Amino acid sequence: MKQQHAIPFDPQTAGGYLYLSGGSHSSGKGCPDWGSNDPAELRFIGDRLGTLVLQYADGSSGRVPLVLGYTLWLRCIRYELCAPFFGEGRDEELAQGMQRSLQLFGAWEGAEEWLLRIALPKPLAGVRVEPAEEKNGTPVFDKAYCAGEPAEEAQRAFFAAHTVMPDAPVPAFVSAALDAVCHALHTFESDFEAAPEEFVFPQPPQGFQPVFAGTRLAAVATGSVYHNMKDLGSRTDADGFLHTSYPDAPSWWYDGFGPYVPRVGSYTANFYSRDAGRAIMTLAAYGYVDAAAAACGFGNRWMMYYREQGLQLAGVPIPGHYSVMPNTPLIYSQVLTKLAKPALADDPDGSQLSAWPTRYTFERFGEGHGNVGNPETDGHGLMMMANRAAWRAQGADPDYVRKNWTYINEMAEWILWSYAHPELSFVENDLLYGETEAAMNDYTLYANVPCYLGLLSLAEMAQAAGEEAAAESWRQTAGRLRRAIDAHLTDGQGWKAEKFGFHHDPVLTMLADVYGYDTADMPADWVARSRASYETDRLNAAQHGWYGPKGIGYDHAMITQNALLLDRMADADGLLNSLCKLSYAPRLPEPYLIPEALSVDAAKGVLRRQGDLGNLVQQAEAMKCWLLAVGVSPLREGSVKVMPRLPAGWSVKVQAAPVPASGLCAALQVSAVSENTQSIELHFAGEGDARLQVRFGPFDAKYDTAQVKLNGAAHTLPLQQSGDSKWAWLELSALPRQ
């Protein structure tokens, strides 16, 4: 049982009313900053978070429910003018309903002190708070006293309409107001049951657009791809600036219960290297080739800042490299590492904001200690991989490599420089060090794996351009990094979870960017480690309705990609359907766009957005999930593999799926699996040819053969186990043409 606590109270005070100062919550938040799927951490509007127990002088007691929006409130809601209660996005009906519902004097106005008044039927001896057992934290009241009518006119006027009666149920008008706010700000299971059966395109889609069918959530997936890719495709300026937030993007309160601020564009002015790297790969895969190439060019030009400015560290010239925000290359080292802790009333120790931790200090390096700009090791690696993706999407032309050799060589040079100067780069045990979110002064998989794959990517480009010495040097360095990863970031069988860098194993998903969608084409030992790590890695989502809410890309999308690549289709079913749900908020702005994060109570069937709407890396990782589900894998060693991984009951149709580095597009129509049967229509257009391998499935493990059709031709094929399902492969020596 949770600890109850008494509120300081002087029984000698007299009057017909109990006044309590406070009415906030010990967490200070509606939900954790980056969301949660744990109901104990969630405090939605209308939630009962405890009870006030009134101990009367005659030994009896009374009870008052402590409900968020009725007898409790959150201070954070007044920090900005958030919709639907204040400012530009105010909804008059909802705002007035909340004002009538909220019984705390001063809370709506953001006053320093709040007062709750309770009518007393008899003398009071004491009062205590009884926290809700199912919720973390406790309601907070700091003092209580009895008195009659207040002297202040504003208080008398307020309490004439806002006085709580003990032992009475929550008034009907309060419940109606709270329900209306919940309905406006949250999404419910009933919304998914009422979603359109078919998505109607407002305009003809651009690029690669799958049309999923079979369920209402499949139609939501179609709409999600359409709107998110339209948004991503428009995010790149003529000079290649790829904005992390779209202009005027609304921002949902990280720590509230659902209010949001319209037209914020939190990160519109920023080009984040991690976000851009992932987004460029997604743009290229969906056919937005010009935008992907332009964004690479913008990032690469800013990467050269350190070289072009002649910056040094301890007298050693610093090569070009990717910082967190390349277009403001020194903001972390020269601004964020020097932040003073704020003196906020609700943050007296500055715990909500403090200086960014860094080893690049004046004490260690003297003048110029900030010249490196805080290494974004993962962003650097992802941008190397992104350059390869943009190059292959344009046909893998060797002349492209020659024209951009200065940048390609510089990206690799940064890794070589880091190994040559461990006293400056903090390379340790041959692992690369990082100082931003994916490493935080540590050595992680999310930071090191993309640099390994990035070196292989640049070596492929160098080889194509005839730069064989550079290609060999970069492959050798990649081998050195791989040996370090093998030696220090494993736990014997799988990967070290504490070294993931974000919430999940990033290895398999990053391998897919280079090797394609078939794990048989990836390094077998790394796949085996990811398979071993998966069993534990999946548990949080499995136990909470198949939601990974903490940064949709880093959490939900990454575990979804792992489930798909490992053919864990029972898990992938749940994860893809949940991805549809977190993509769809029909009463909110831009109802199909991916939010940065999410809080969800799966048992209650209620979801709320958090953070930046359409946040670039979260959006791009989510869109990669649908690429894997459709399954047109990039050309590899003269072979095209088509291996759909669809949820049960789903079908998909694609008019023109680009096959990178091949000059080909695939027209694809995949039926839903029925028992051990499935049909696929598949034709290719464009120049060039290749072998074709088509995989049918997933089929239930009870079957040994499948009856399949490819372009109307029937085949009986043996089934092979992979993951939790069985699959059938069909190989053709040439591509079927339209």
Average pLDDT over residues 136-141: 96
Tell if the pTM clears 0.85, that is, is over it.
Answer: yes
Last residue of a domain, one of 185, 206, 239: 185
Which residue has 């580095």 as its token pair? 661
Q: Are 645 and 670 members of one domain?
A: yes
pLDDT band at 77 (very low <50, low <70, confident <90, very high): confident
Determine the average pLDDT of the residues in 654-677: 93
Whether 199 is in a domain gets the answer yes
pLDDT at 345 over 60: no
Amino acid residing at 83: A
DSSP annotation of 38: -
| Average pLDDT value for residue range 16-25 | 96
348, pLDDT greater than 50 = no
Six token digits for residue 399: 């002349």
Assess whether 110 and 60 both reside in one domain.
yes
56 and 142 together in one domain = yes
Specify the DSSP class assigned to residue 267.
T
Backbone angles phi, psi at 337, to 5 degrees: -75, -10
Do the domain assignments include residue 399?
A: no
Cα(395)–Cα(657) distance, integer angstroms = 15
**Measured between alpha carbons, how far is residue 526 from residues 386, 441, 494, 531 in Å?**
21, 25, 9, 9
Q: What's the pLDDT score for residue 475?
A: 98
| Count of domains observed in the chain | 3
Which of 34-38, 77-81, 204-208 has the lowest average pLDDT? 77-81
Q: Is residue 614 part of a domain?
A: yes
1 has a pLDDT exceeding 80: no
Structure tokens at 532: 């071993």
Weakest-pLDDT range from 37-41, 335-339, 362-366, 636-640: 335-339
Between CA 7 and CA 731 the distance in angstroms is 75
Q: What is the 3-state secondary structure (H, E, C) of 573-584?
A: HHHHHHHHHHCC
- pLDDT, mean over the chain: 94
Same domain, 194 and 129: no
Residue type, 455: L
Domain identity same for 611 and 659:
no
Q: Is the model's pLDDT at 339 over the cut of 80? A: no
User: Residue 139 belongs to what H/E stretch?
Assistant: strand 139-147
User: What pLDDT does residue 596 have?
Assistant: 97
What is the C-alpha separation between 14 and 144, in angstroms, rounded?
Answer: 12
The 3-state DSSP class for residue 538 equals coil
Asked if residue 84 has a cis previous peptide bond (ω within 30° of 0), the answer is yes
Same domain, 47 and 149: yes
For residue 308, give both structure tokens.
């072009």
Question: How many C-beta neighbours within 10 Å does residue 3 have?
Answer: 8
DSSP character string of 146-214: EESS-SSHHHHHHHTT--BPTTPPPPHHHHHHHHHHHHHH-EEHHHHHTS-SSPPPSSPPPS---EEES
Give the mean pLDDT of 501-512. 97
Is the domain of 681 the same as that of 711? yes
503 in any annotated domain: no
Q: Which domain holds residue 719?
A: 640-732
**What are 233-242's pLDDT values in tens digits?**
999 999 999 9
- 111 and 248 in a single domain? The answer is no
Report the pLDDT value the prediction gives residue 350, as an integer from 0 to 100. 36
Q: How many other CB atoms are found less than 10 A from the CB of residue 733?
A: 8
The per-residue pLDDT for 446 is: 98
Q: Is the pLDDT of residue 409 over 90?
A: yes
User: Of 68-82, 235-249, 341-355, 656-670, which has the strongest mean pLDDT?
Assistant: 235-249
User: Residue 341's pLDDT is what?
Assistant: 44
**DSSP states of 419-443 as a string?**
HH-HHHH--BTTBPPB-STTTSSB-
101 domain residue, yes or no: yes
Query: What average pLDDT does range 557-570 have in this prediction?
Result: 98
**Domain C-terminal end among 600, 624, 648:** 624
Q: Tell me, yes or no, whether 724 lies in a domain.
A: yes
Q: Are residues 91 and 127 in the same domain?
A: yes
Confidence at 681, pLDDT banded by 50, 70, 90: very high
How far, rounded to the nearest angstrom, does the alpha carbon of residue 736 sit from its chain's CA centroid?
Answer: 38
Among the candidates 185, 211, 236, a domain finishes at 185
- What's the CA gap between 670 and 710, in Å, rounded? 10
pLDDT tens-digit readout, 286-295: 999 999 999 9
Percent of the residues in the chain that have a pLDDT greater than 70, as a whole number: 98
User: Can you give the length of the chain in residues?
Assistant: 738
Answer for the pair 178, 101: CB distance below 8 angstroms, yes or no.
yes
pLDDT band at 255 (very low <50, low <70, confident <90, very high): confident
Which pLDDT belongs to residue 659? 92
Whether residue 194 contacts residue 580, with contact meaning beta carbons closer than 8 Å, is answered with no
pLDDT band at 673 (very low <50, low <70, confident <90, very high): very high
Mean pLDDT of 269-286: 97
pLDDT tens per residue across span 587-619: 999 999 999 999 999 999 999 999 999 999 999
Q: What is the model's pLDDT at position 354?
A: 63
Instruction: Check whether residue 208 and residue 253 sit in a common domain.
Output: yes
pLDDT tens digits for range 150-177:
999 999 999 999 999 999 999 999 999 9
What residue type is assigned to position 303 of the chain? M
Cα Rg of the chain, angstroms: 29
Report the range of poorest mean pLDDT among 114-118, 334-338, 384-388, 461-465: 334-338
Are 15 and 32 part of one and the same domain?
Answer: yes
pLDDT at 85: 94
Q: pLDDT by residue (tens digit) across 689-707?
A: 899 999 999 999 999 999 9
Report the pLDDT value the prediction gives residue 207, as an integer from 0 to 100.
Answer: 77
Under the banding of pLDDT at 50, 70 and 90, the label for residue 318 is very high
Contacts of 528 (CB under 8 A, 6+ apart): 493
Q: Could you tell me if 39 and 63 lie in one domain?
A: yes
State the pairing for strand pair 5-6/725-732: unpaired
